[in-house]
Amino acid sequence: MPALFEPLKLRSLELQHRGWVSPMCQYSCDPDDAPGVPNDWHLMHLGSFAAGGAALILTEAAAVNAEGRISPRDAGLYNSEQAEAWERITSFVHRHGAAEAKIGVQLAHAGRKASTYWPFAGKHGSVPESDGGWATVAPSASAFDGYAEPAAMTQEQIRGVVSDFAAAAIRAVEAGFDTMEIHGAHGYLLHQFQSPLINTRTDSWGGDEAGRNRLMLQVVDAVREVIPESMPLLLRISATDWAEGGVDLAASIRLAREAAGRGVDLVDVSSGGAVAHQQISAGPGYQTGFSAAIRKEAGVATGTVGLLTSAGQAEHAVVTGQADGVLIARAALRDPHWWLRAAFELGHETAWPPQYERARPRRTF
């Protein structure tokens, strides 16, 4: 059996294989009539991956409060209407997954990168309040290039965000999610606190590395406390800021080790996003080395992502021990049945939806 199609168990969650869907924002919620509420687009988008053979599907970032949305069109999990809409989607994925698909929600807060225009808006930068935007917050009053300046968060606001993550986690369990991922990457709020390029606080939420990591780890603690012991918890991090003086791999290994000790079961390893002047050396599989180092040095399961497009690449990442799972993003948008095709290419027989069985490719040798 190809390594990519070996099962994996995280706590009591049994995944049929190691090929998963990475969170991808869709910017498709109705900002006027149903802000933050996933709809038919999200059902189709996520459901197609279930039918396409993915073993684990992670949703786009779901904001833990209204101000934490990346854009006015982003999803949330901060009220009951949103939770009910997500439950419709989790039920669909569980019913129609070709590989007994499981689904997890990514809980997030965008911080200083909130209230921005969505990619197909025809505009760029921060959305003004007159156009449906809102004032943003961050660890320090420092703007991401081209965005509005945020307000430095008070200690009360910081503690409120921890509570918001916990409340969203409770709603996620009630909505039928199998797992959840805390978004601590890509220059969003938890990463903003972690990065010395952004966080210039001198109180207990800043200063040294322990202070900068405090919010992310307190969120881990708060979420772990309110979800079932049997449910795995994932954490997405940026392994490096790709900028001098920022987060580096050594710091990320230390963070991952401590997070694992607090109940994180898998670290989803990405990189970048903190600052506009980052210098990324991108290429096929360019982040797998980060995942491999964190897996080895922190002693925690990892997922890898980034320009992994072929079955062979994904198989190599798993068989060589660079990651325990491979998250597919844009390649899945191009081919929502990526996992069915990958199984065939790797010579593995996998379940197909019965409605599609007549299209299964047959080997003639």
Asked if 141 and 151 count as a contact pair (C-beta separation under 8 A), the reply is yes
Q: CA-CA distance, 76 to 62, in Å (whole number)?
A: 4
- CA neighbor of 207 nearest in space, from 189, 223, 225, 194: 194
- CA neighbor of 43 nearest in space, from 84, 79, 78: 84
- Which tokens hold the place of 283? 């290429």
188 counts as catalytic: yes
Q: What is the DSSP track for 264-309? A: --EEEEE---S-TT------TTTTHHHHHHHHHHH--EEEEESS--
Asked if 258 and 294 count as a contact pair (C-beta separation under 8 A), the reply is no
Asked if 165 and 158 count as a contact pair (C-beta separation under 8 A), the reply is no
- Which tokens hold the place of 305? 């992502």
For the chain, report the end-to-end CA distance as a whole number of angstroms.
Answer: 18
Q: What is the DSSP secondary structure assignment for residue 243, as one 8-state letter?
A: S
Q: CA dihedral in degrees (216, 158, 226, 58; nearest 10)? A: -50
- Which tokens hold the place of 359? 């299209």
Element holding 331 (H helix, E strand): helix 330-334
Q: Which amino acid is at 228?
A: P
Q: CA-CA distance, 15 to 355, in Å (whole number)?
A: 23
Among 27, 78, 117, 188, the active-site one is 188
Phi, psi of 88, rounded to the nearest 5 degrees: -60, -40
Phi, psi of 363, rounded to the nearest 5 degrees: -80, 140
> Catalytic residue numbers?
188
